[in-house]
Every structure is written in C-alpha cells, then in structure tokens.
C-alpha cells in the first residue's frame, strides 16, 4: 500500500471475510478438523505438517480476498516468537522466501505484541493503556506505552489460564460430551458452566495474599483434579466417563478463574493510577487472548473497571483468539512508527522466547 493507513482501511474492510487469515502460530482453528479436536491437544509435528500443506493456499486466498497482488504489498510481517518452534518455522521460512522473491522489507512480529495492539485496529485507543492477555500459552498484565514499549506488571508463575481450562476439560472428558465435543477446552467449560451451580464446590482463588500482579493456575488445576477424583469415587464411575456433577465443577472452576484474574487486574489498575502511569479519569483496560472470549470472565472484569473508572475494551472474539489479521496489523503499526523494518533478513530465525 502507498501508506499504512490504506493498509489499515483494507484490513478493516476484509477481516471478516478472511477465513482465519494467515495464521502462522499454533493452529487450533486453522483447519476444518483441527489437531486439537482429534487429539485433545496440539501434536507439534502434526501441526507442522498441516502448516506446510496449507500455508501457500492460505496466503493466496488472503491476497485474493483482499483484492491485492503480491507486488502491492508494503512489507511482509511474520511472527517469530513466542510459540511452537515447528509451526513458526514453517511460517518464517515461507515468508523469507516471499521476501526474497518480491524484494519486500520484512517485519518480525512478537506474538504477544500483536495480541496487545489488535484493539487499535478496531477502536481508537491511544497509548498508554493497560493490557491483560489471557490465552492457552500466555497470561500477562502489561502497560502499553507505545508500539514496542511494554512495561510488564505481572505474569503467570506456572501455566496459563487457557491451558488450565483445557486440562480440566480433558480431565472431565468433555470431548465425549454430546454438546461440546467440538469446542476448545475453555469454551466447553464456559458452555457447561451455564448449566451448573458454582456454589456446589468451594474453591479458594489462588495467591489471595500475594502483593503483586502475578498469576498462578496450576494449584487450582490440582484442586479441581482432586475434586474430580473424589466425585468419580462417589458416583462410582471410571476415569474417562462424564460425571453428573461436571457442570457444577465447570461453573466452580470458571468462577475461581474469573475471581483470580479480576483481582490481579484490579491491583494492576490501582498500581498504575497511584503511580500516575494511567489517567485517573479515562484509563483503558484492553483484554485479549482466547480466554478473553469468556463472557463470565469479562463480566468479572467489568465489575473491576466500573469500580475504578476505567473503560474495558475487547477486540471482536475472532480477533481475540490467534489470527493472522493481528499480525498484519502489528506490521502496519510498526510501518507507521518506523520500527523494526528489516531490509536485510540474513540471520533471521525462529526465536523461542
């Protein structure tokens, strides 16, 4: 495009038609029958193979749907970290070939930066703002001061909330549940929780006395594991069968997760306001990542933002989970800011962290 703004206009026009765009990271939603539905988790070599088989078609479709020819591109933006090495490697080598063929600049993208900036594609949001990223692989709170200027306020000390919800869903064998067998673990928990009563199980939120903004989910996972084991005994059923109390367990784990996330976020908002890092009257909290599509968790966060005079913003659900649009948008943000645009890609490789 002649200007980054033209690129933005094109992305805004077409993002709903782009079927998952060009997703170079872990590929839960990339394929009609994704590896996670068949296996209950990503198997890296399978994901890699599926990336190899699909990447060319997906790139062609993305260009076709947007009505642009490769020569019109301003640059090629690709995730280089963090993520599954095998999948990111496929995206990266494909992109570097394109860069070489088309003689375009290359913009390496950090997956979490892309999640954080997505909101600026769909809403007018100025820096600084607070971002909460909650997904299957990540959990962090950061103050976003600029396109590549992040102050990390807190992160998970063990696993991410989506990972924990996926593990609980797997332990509850929700993949065999007639109503939620095709959903991701987190979505299945949300679906089932609506039919359950959270008061049937009393689970303490993690880290209630920690004076920081970090998170922890593995203790919660173990507590829920124990509850499930106990219930299996009581109901006299084998591991792998569906408990009659599965919906109550889903409701309790979702509630505890929401409380924990909301409390840590509340601390972060207060910290930023006290230090003058965020405006007292019109601060913005952006919530993104796959777990942000959970409406119960969003409502808990709404209570926090209402109490602290903040505005809560979430990208549309399809832009909250992993997608290629956010990578393209991050590229445009970097083009506009003149940041990290490489004209020589020698030595560029996948970076694990």
- Compute how many other C-beta atoms are within 10 angstroms of the C-beta atom of residue 317: 12
Q: Does 322 bind Zn ion (CB under 5 A)?
A: yes
Q: Does 167 bind ligand KG4 (CB under 6 A)?
A: no
Q: What is the DSSP string of 124-191?
A: --PSPEEEEEE-SS-EEEEEEEETTEEEEEEEBSS--HHHHHHHHHHHTTGGG-TTTTTS-HHHHHHH
Least Cβ distance, residue 138 to ligand KG4 (angstroms)? 6
Least Cβ distance, residue 285 to ligand KG4 (angstroms)? 18
Q: What is the DSSP string of 61-100?
A: HHHHHHT--GGG-S-EEEEEESS-HHHHHHHHHHHHHHHH
Per-residue x/- marks for Zn ion, 225-254, CB under 5 A? ------------------------------
Distance CA 141, CA 164 (A): 18
List the interface residues with ligand KG4, window 276-295 (CB under 6 A). 289-291, 293-294
List the interface residues with ligand KG4, window 306-345 (CB under 6 A). 321-322
Distance CA 34, CA 311 (A): 35
- Compute how many other C-beta atoms are within 10 angstroms of the C-beta atom of residue 14: 16
Q: Does 79 bind Zn ion (CB under 5 A)?
A: no
Q: Does 162 bind ligand KG4 (CB under 6 A)?
A: yes
Q: Of these partners, Zn ion, ligand KG4, none, which one is at the site of residue 128 (CB under 5 to 8 Å by kind)?
A: none
Stretch of 55-63, 85-93, 163-171, 201-209 contacting ligand KG4, by CB under 6 A: 163-171
Distance CA 161, CA 155 (A): 11
Chain contacts with ligand KG4 (rule: CB under 6 A): 28, 135-137, 162-163, 165-166, 184-187, 190, 289-291, 293-294, 321-322
Chain contacts with Zn ion (rule: CB under 5 A): 135, 322
């Amino acid at each position: 495009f002649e200007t980054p703004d033209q690129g933005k206009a094109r992305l805004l026009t077409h993002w709903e038609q782009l079927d998952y765009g060009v997703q170079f990271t872990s590929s839960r939603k990339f394929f009609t029958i994704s590896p996670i539905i068949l296996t209950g988790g990503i198997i890296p070599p399978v994901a890699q193979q599926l990336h190899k088989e699909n990447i060319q078609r997906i790139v062609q479709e993305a260009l076709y749907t947007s009505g642009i020819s490769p020569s019109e591109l301003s640059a090629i933006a690709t995730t280089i970290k963090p993520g599954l090495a095998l999948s990111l490697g496929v995206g990266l080598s494909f992109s570097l070939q394109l860069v070489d063929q088309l003689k375009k600049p290359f913009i390496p993208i950090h997956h979490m930066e892309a999640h954080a900036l997505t909101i600026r594609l769909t809403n007018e949001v100025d820096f600084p703002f607070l971002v909460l990223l909650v997904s299957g692989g990540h959990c962090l709170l950061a103050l976003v001061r600029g396109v590549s200027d992040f102050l990390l306020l807190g992160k998970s000390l063990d696993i991410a909330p989506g990972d924990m919800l996926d593990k609980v869903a797997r332990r509850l064998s929700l993949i065999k549940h007639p109503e939620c067998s095709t959903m991701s673990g987190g979505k299945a928990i949300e679906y089932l929780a609506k039919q359950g009563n959270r008061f049937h199980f009393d689970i303490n939120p993690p880290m209630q006395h920690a004076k920081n903004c970090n998170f922890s989910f593995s203790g919660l996972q173990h507590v829920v594991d124990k509850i499930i084991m106990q219930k299996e005994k009581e109901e006299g059923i084998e591991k792998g069968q569906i408990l009659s109390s599965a919906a109550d367990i889903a409701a309790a784990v979702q509630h505890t997760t929401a409380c924990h996330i909301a409390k840590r976020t509340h601390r972060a908002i207060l910290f930023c306001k006290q230090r003058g890092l965020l405006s007292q009257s019109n601060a913005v909290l952006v919530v993104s990542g796959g777990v942000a599509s959970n409406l119960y968790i969003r409502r808990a966060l709404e209570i926090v933002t209402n109490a602290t005079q903040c505005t809560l913003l979430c990208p549309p659900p399809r832009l909250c989970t992993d997608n290629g649009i956010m990578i393209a948008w991050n590229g445009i943000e970097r083009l506009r800011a003149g940041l990290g645009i490489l004209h020589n890609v020698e030595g560029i490789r996948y970076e694990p962290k």
